[in-house]
A and B are shown apart, each in its own frame.
Chain A
Amino acid sequence: MSSAPAQAGWQFKKPSVIPGFGLTLGFSLAYLTLIILIPLSGLVWRSASLGWTDFWAIATDRRTVKALEISFGTAFIAAAVNVVFGTLVAWVLVRYRFPGRRVVDAMVDLPFALPTAVAGIALTTLYASKGWIGSLLEPLGIKVAYTPLGIVVALVFIGLPFVVRTVQPIIEEIDKEVEEAAATLGASRFQTVTKVLFPGLAPAVTTGFALAFARGVGEYGSVIFIAGNLPYVSEITPLLIVIRLEEYDYAAATAIATIMLALSFGMLLVINLIQAWTRKRYG
């Protein structure tokens, strides 16, 4: 421990006078392994032991493909909606002063704090044909509850704080001088916002989108109440996993879960790369 750091070639840890490294790291690793790593590798191992033919048959089953399409499609739309409105909400919260701003700011975190099942039954009641909002939309011929549109509504609710909370601190950091410089150079306010401010916000917006999207793809509790859960129409992937489990079809449940995990990790990776690229481009 006390040997000079410069002389040691490869070393796992830099020397330090602070005690407890072995204990805390050891405990953390043991706990992480037991709770997260072993169970997750169990899933992958089970899936691998299925064999390629069986796995492929489950993966290309029409119901599986449809459920994946629905999950990823609705999560994408909801995240896109949240990018627009979440950025607007963050802008209003940072730039404008109005009474009750703190209350509004606190409310944005409601979807983090409210149990998803509660959100699910509340949204379903609201958007059902007799509900407060559903009864207003029905004359217009718009049905939300028990349709794919309902899934989008639930996922917009769930994903909103992810976008607001990633974009908000970046808007707070914007240097007013940049806007003043743009204005001095003759840009209109609209040009300043779209050409100067938005590119700077792009990495944060992308991150918020990615977080909302990833959460939306896996979301279960709030969606199953409002979706109607019709196979091929409004059946999300997590629900299909639960259905296969209830049928004791562990092989199918495992395979679908593995596909979903792989797709979400892959997508997060792609989005991270996009983010690194935008950061490089716009600083």
Chain B
Amino acid sequence: MADPELYPADQLHEHASLATSESPASRLLLMAIAFAFLGIFLVVPLVVVFEQAFAKGIGAFLEAIREPDTISAIKLTLLVAAISVPLNLVFGIAAAWAIAKFEFRGKAFLITLIDLPFSVSPVISGLVYVLLFGATSLLGPWLKMHGIVILFAVPGIVLATIFVTFPFVARELIPLMQEQGTGDEEAALSLGANGWQTFWHVTLPNIKWGLFYGVLLCNARAMGEFGAVSVVSGHIRGQTNTMPLHVEILYNEYNAVGAFAVASVLAGLALVTLVLKTLLEMRYGAEIAATRGH
């Protein structure tokens, strides 16, 4: 937890001069304010999720989790993540390869476009697909004639999820691969490896932790997305309800235990994500791009 080797230096420093650090009293005050703020805004909300989920005992919690609609929401969430995360993974690798290993015109613009979904409201991310595939759109009648259902069904949910999680893997890999340069790949190629071998045996081992990091964040968002999915889902219980949407339905029915039981599963997933993320940063910090956050 604490870094023991830092203490001697710190104490030395304190003796050396108070001028380059705050006085012990103001240190304590600043820390107290910071902890109080984090406690109220982060810790207490997290605690309340689990407190409410188990408010009526573990039996009620298990019952809420075992409810068929909840099970189908969990399955749908896993399915959506299982489709959208690998697609964005492939895109992330392809985009990072093109951007990091080559010099071409318009690269900066391309990077801006990749980041675009981060500055679009989730609701708008869903709306664009409603406009594209909805009954009043150009494609609408054609889709209907051919019996293709996209909106208010799984394909729409998958598309909206891909949209909001689009940049995660790419923006993790691009700075990482740019930093690594092209030397390793050029060496492999000059030794007679073909392109695919070079990628598989040289590039992939170099980027694997950064890649895992990006996938982790992408997956967390894919499973937790609410706004975009809410617009395209149609909210059909047991059919097009993902876990976050199911939380909303249960909550609006005043089924607090049910809502918080499903919410606690999602919160557990968030905690696992944070633990893995921290472990990755501790062990492979240098290999992971400096773009923390998002």
Contacts and interface: CB of A to CB of B under 8 A. Distances in A.
Interface of A: 12-14, 16-21, 23-25, 27-29, 31-32, 35-40, 42-43, 46, 85, 88-89, 91-92, 95-119, 121-123, 125-126, 131-133, 156-157, 160-162, 165-166, 169, 176, 179-180, 183, 187, 189, 192, 214, 217-221, 225, 237-239, 241-242, 245, 250, 253-254, 257, 260-261, 264-265, 268
A13 B104 contact: yes
B121 A32 contact: no
A112 to B, nearest CB: 7
B61 to A, nearest CB: 15
B227 A160 contact: no
A179 B20 contact: yes
Given A43-B127, A261-B124, A107 B274 contact: yes
User: Which residue among A115, A179, A250 has the maximum number of chain B CB atoms within 10 Å of its CB?
Assistant: A115
A107 B22 contact: no
A176 B20 contact: yes
Contact of A132 (B34, B48, B97, B225): B48
Given A157-B41, A157-B45, 14 more contacts: A16-B103, A28-B95, A102-B278, A106-B274, A114-B224, A116-B244, A119-B45, A121-B260, A126-B48, A179-B19, A218-B122, A238-B123, A241-B123, A250-B136
B226 A24 contact: no
B230 interface: yes
B131 A116 contact: no
Contact of B45 (A13, A20, A122): A122
Nearest to A103: B1
B2 A97 contact: yes
B30 A92 contact: yes
15 contacts: A13-B104, A29-B110, A31-B87, A35-B159, A35-B166, A38-B132, A39-B128, A43-B128, A89-B34, A110-B46, A117-B263, A118-B224, A179-B20, A241-B121, A257-B123
Contacts of B271: 113
A265 B225 CA distance: 22
A118 B52 contact: no
B68 to A, nearest CB: 21
Nearest to A110: B42
B121 A217 contact: yes
A92 B247 CA distance: 35
A5 to B, nearest CB: 10
A162 B294 CA distance: 8
B102 A133 contact: no
A36 B166 contact: yes
Interface string B91-127: 1011101100111110000100110110111111001
Contact of B94 (A27, A39, A192): A27
A23 B102 CA distance: 13
B42 to A, nearest CB: 5
Nearest to B217: A112
User: Which residue among B27, B37, B137, B271 has the maximum number of chain A CB atoms within 10 Å of its CB?
Assistant: B37
Interface in B172-206: 182, 185-186, 189-190, 194-195, 198-199
B23 A36 contact: no
Contacts of A36: 113, 116-117, 163, 166
A111 B48 contact: no
A169 B186 CA distance: 33
B6 to A, nearest CB: 5
A103 to B, nearest CB: 7
Given A115-B226, A225-B251, A238-B123, A99 B2 contact: yes
A118 B189 contact: no
B3 interface: yes
Interface string B23-45: 10001001101110110111111
B129 interface: yes
Contacts of A103: 1
B248 interface: yes
B247 A118 contact: yes
A263 B7 CA distance: 49
Given A43-B131, A242-B230, A95 B48 contact: no
B102 A16 contact: yes
Given A37-B113, A183-B17, A85 B37 contact: yes
A2 to B, nearest CB: 15
B288 interface: no
A99 B3 CA distance: 9
Contact of B102 (A13, A85, A119): A13
B119 A268 contact: yes
Contacts of B189: 17-19
